[in-house]
Amino acid sequence: MESIRTRGLSSTGLKWIALILMVLDHIHYFFAYTGRVPEWFSMAGRLAAPLFLFCLVEGFSHTHDRRRYFMKVYAIHLLMSGLLLLMLCGLLPIRPDGFYPMNGMMTSFAILMVVFQGIDWLGEKRWGPGLAAVVLPLSWPVLASMLMGMVPALQMPLSVLGYTLLPMWNSNPDASIGTILTGILLYGFRKKRRVQASVFAAFTVLYNFLYPLLVFSRSPEFHWTMMFTEAYEWYGALAAILMLCYNGERGQGPKRFFYVFYPAHIYILYALSWAAYSLLAGG
């Protein structure tokens, strides 16, 4: 008879769900210009990032080699952020309409893993390394901005550092402060699943629904239905339901597949969208 512990969804199961939702979201992201991809692809995709963050928390908490885990994530960050930087600088060609992929969840993951380690060090009363690991990654964009203001000549080298060796949480849309705070909350409440899911859902609604509602409502063109048809980032709160279905097991599955799939599918979809754009423009 199946035990209670093995019921529900394993970490691998959650990753597969997140992967499918992510692909739907990115199909809309890359091909929205055609007007033929339904908006619900991205609506469903709002659950992907929270689920991947949840799996990151679980993976980091239970891995036997945090350094190796971090280096895998950091390497993908370097690859993708480096390519993004080259596109921004005009050193790599981009789609004729000026569109280029701004995806960078691995940047968020790399930053968060340092912060997670800092939180653990603080719990062990290792105040020096703990504070450094938490404060420095979170304050790095602010410090870099201040340095750029004081010494304009530092703007280019600091920007390069922020996209490469010292990732900044504001370097791409996937590395927003909201994503970083979500990851920290998930890690802080990881030992109490129901509290974790509740705090996550509450924060997501507060940050992605109530706050935007207050801002957007000042515009005369705003209508409350837009929070369900356009500003739907808060749909990600529904990922809390799947988090509660987690059974605490890693599950069976390819270990490296998800690391390879993330960057691979981004650039494959980008290439396909470029080809489709050229065909439509030529027609």
pLDDT tens digits for range 194-226: 999 999 999 999 999 999 999 999 999 999 999
CA distance 58 to 242: 14
Q: What is the mean pLDDT of residues 63-86?
A: 96
Tokens 């000026």 belong to 98
Q: 164-203: per-residue pLDDT in tens?
A: 999 999 999 999 999 999 999 999 999 999 999 999 999 9
CA distance 110 to 12: 20
Cβ proximity of 114 and 132 under 8 Å: no
Q: What is the mean pLDDT of residues 53-57?
A: 98
Determine if the pTM surpasses 0.85.
yes
Amino acid at 20: I
What is the percentage of the chain residues whose pLDDT exceeds 70? 98
For residue 2, name the pLDDT band (cuts at 50, 70, 90): very low
Listed range (2-6, 140-144, 278-282) with the worst mean pLDDT? 2-6
Q: 114-123: per-residue pLDDT in tens?
A: 999 999 999 9
Phi and psi at residue 9, in whole multiples of 5°?
Answer: -110, 135
Residue 4 pLDDT more than 60?
no
CA distance 41 to 63: 33
For residue 282, name the pLDDT band (cuts at 50, 70, 90): confident
